[in-house]
Structure 1
Amino acid sequence: MIPVFNGASYLKEALDSIIAQEYTPQEVIVVDDGSTDESLSIAKQYSLAHCISQENRGVAIARNTGVQVSQTELIAFLDQDDFWEPDKLYLQFSYLQEYLSVGYVV
């Protein structure tokens, strides 16, 4: 789940890092928090991205919006100006399957 506010200069790299994952995510939610740049247009170029647009209310509200619409049991957050190493989701998912009592993995 990626909350975005005027992140056009970084968003492509963030989304590309999701596509490059060894473990394919079940869904990718991009919540555009009232951007005035091309962020939403960039996100819509990715067929795997479920794009939501809302007025600017801050990153916490954008994350909560994404959580509310998510259809999966597990959610991984990615900031608009960050990217994941290709094995990030695989390592986290594997750990969670091995240690079922764990509720959170960093």
Structure 2
Amino acid sequence: MTTPATVQRIDALADVRAGDKGDTLIVAVLARDRAAYGLLERRLTDDVVAARYGELITGPARRTCQPNLLAMVFELPGVLGGGVTGSPALDGHGKTLGYHLLSLEIRDV
């Protein structure tokens, strides 16, 4: 018999910091421990994160893993719609957009 998958929100496993480079949202995901990092590394792929932000992304998402820091950084082009000073979005610095990633649910199988 197989064990059912556990569903966890990212905010139970990690914290995020968000920044910008032009219209690209940069989100660092900082795992709370090695077990959380392992799960995030397996399940929080660039495709999963890109799907989370949907049509806001104008190019491919890129993930850079930093296992020595228990962190990964995602670069999401176009999400800031013109950059911090040029975007009509209320969240030009990406703080709420970073929380949007924390509320994502992933499965541990």
**Alignment TM-score, normalising by the size of structure 1:** 0.28
Q: Which structure shows the bigger proportion of residues in helix conformation?
A: 1
**Alignment TM-score, normalising by the size of structure 2:** 0.28
